[in-house]
Amino acid sequence: MAGRVRPITLVGTPVLHQACRPVDDFGEALRELADDMFASMYEAEGVGLAANQIGVDLRVFVYDCPDADGERRKGVVVNPVLELPALDDRRLDDDEEGCLSVPGPHARLARPDRAVVHGFDVTGTEVTVEGTGLLARCLQHETDHLEGRLYIDRLSARARKKVLKEYEALRAESQAS
């Protein structure tokens, strides 16, 4: 694996809180970015990673994540567009969620249990990824990142505060030791 492990940006870093720019150059640099993203995701033991989580302001995410059948799915999506089931057709999955950019805590967050993402691979070929189970959650979580939105921004004010408090406490602890 060619990628280079890069530090993960943490909540509060501006690049995480603004919408990323669309990719218009499907060249070598994009391939390198995807390799670095995979390497960084595996190092951090995540199931998905958005480019702004390694400080790059571009609409790209990678994933390596099981679906509802336990099948491992892996890929890169560039310029993703998320499609969710229609409201009457939507079932919510009320599972726990966490984020490498808010390391430590998890919180329950209801999301649709199916999601589809349309976009491109690193060569510019169109791809469609259909996700169920954890992969459905991952596809939504990563496209949110590219809009500058963290999962904690979807929590109640109270739950958000609790997550951030736990995160800060863990950080203070690790800096003290």
Give the residues lining the site for Zn ion (CB under 5 A). 99
Instruction: Dihedral sign for Cα 13, 4, 167, 95, please.
Output: positive
CB of 117 to Zn ion, least distance (A): 15
CB of 100 to Zn ion, least distance (A): 6
Q: In this complex, which beta carbon is closest to Zn ion, that of residue 97 or of residue 113?
A: 97
Q: In this complex, which beta carbon is closest to Zn ion, that of residue 51 or of residue 78?
A: 51
What H or E segment, with its residue span, contains residue 159? Answer: helix 157-176
DSSP state of 58: B
Positions marked catalytic: 142
Q: In this complex, which beta carbon is closest to Zn ion, that of residue 67 or of residue 144?
A: 144
CB of 151 to Zn ion, least distance (A): 6
Residue nearest to Zn ion according to CB distances in the complex? 99
Spatial distance between the Cα atoms of 145 and 169, rounded to a whole number of angstroms? 24
CB-CB neighbours of 95 under 10 Å: 14
CA 146 from chain center: how many Å? 8
